[in-house]
Amino acid sequence: MHPYKILDWDSSFFKYKVAMLLMPTYNYIELNTALQNLKREQVKLAYWSPENQSKIDEERVISLGGKLVDIKTVYRINLAGKSLENFKKDERVTEYTDFLVHPDLFTLAYESGIWSRYKVDENIGRQKFEELYKIWMEQSVAKKIAKTILVTHKGTRLTGMITLGEKEGKGNIGLVAVNAEQRGKGLGFALFQEMFRWFIQHEYKIITVVTQEANVSACRFYEKSGFEKLSARRFYHFWI
């Protein structure tokens, strides 16, 4: 297996070469060699998320320039046996049907990504972080990467949202956020209740979501909502 691959989309977006390191486990010599080869190829940023997490020598990864930017955490819930009656209908939650992106959706998208590696890694910069999440929201509204978006309102303002889609035949949660000023009013619970109802109506049994281990409040909310933790993988950035 080749030790890395150049990521075309990321390289085009960031305007410099980006690669993904493919070594499934930690090996200092192989990792160092791969990074030196990437340097010769003028790669500026490399991602790495090894499959075997137990054998990582954190200090030596750092010595090679690696920065731990995320512990990617996957949650899942099985809705088999559940019906609409198990989840409360909340009139504050509606489907977003506009073809244009409401400005509040961009704000909520940025809020949803504050724990992401693109925000945590300061070398990426706020402008590129926001540009990335803006694209994510635009493509969600256009139904390219999401099947629907559930939102909460306060007058003409949008106070919360959750994007729903499909991944590998399973229901999948994308972006989730509630306006900071509106927290504590049960909007997150309302969005999740309607999210469960939507997936049941569209005959999805298994629902998955990826979040960051550092986002403790989100992890607790998923667990409180009945999700089980499937995995957690370290994600490193190397600036070369």
Domains of the chain: 4-64 (no CATH), 76-234 (3.40.630.30)
Is the Cβ–Cβ distance between 130 and 150 less than 8 Å? no
Q: What's the pLDDT score for residue 76?
A: 98
Please write the tens of the pLDDT for every residue from 50-82.
Answer: 988 887 888 999 999 999 999 999 999 999 999
SS3 at position 56: coil
Spatial CA neighbour of 73 closest among 197, 195, 182, 173 = 173
- In this model, does residue 142 exceed pLDDT 70? yes
Can you tell me the mean pLDDT for 109-137? 97
Average model confidence (pLDDT) across the chain: 95
Residue with tokens 């035949």: 169
Q: What's the pLDDT score for residue 54?
A: 80
Stronger pLDDT, 2 or 63, i.e. the higher one: 63
Spatial CA neighbour of 35 closest among 19, 15, 55 = 19
1 — pLDDT class (breaks 50, 70, 90): low
Q: pTM to 2 decimals?
A: 0.92
184 — pLDDT class (breaks 50, 70, 90): confident
Residue with tokens 């509606």: 94
Give me the DSSP letters along 159-188.
Answer: EEEEEEEEETTEEEEEEEEE-GGGTTSSHH
Radius of gyration of the chain, Cα coordinates, nearest whole angstrom: 19
Can you tell me the mean pLDDT for 118-145? 97
- In this model, does residue 132 exceed pLDDT 90? yes
- In this model, does residue 238 exceed pLDDT 70? yes
Please write the tens of the pLDDT for every residue from 150-176.
Answer: 999 988 899 999 999 999 999 999 999
Can you tell me the mean pLDDT for 139-149? 97
Can you tell me the mean pLDDT for 29-48? 96
Please write the tens of the pLDDT for every residue from 210-231.
Answer: 999 999 999 999 999 999 999 9
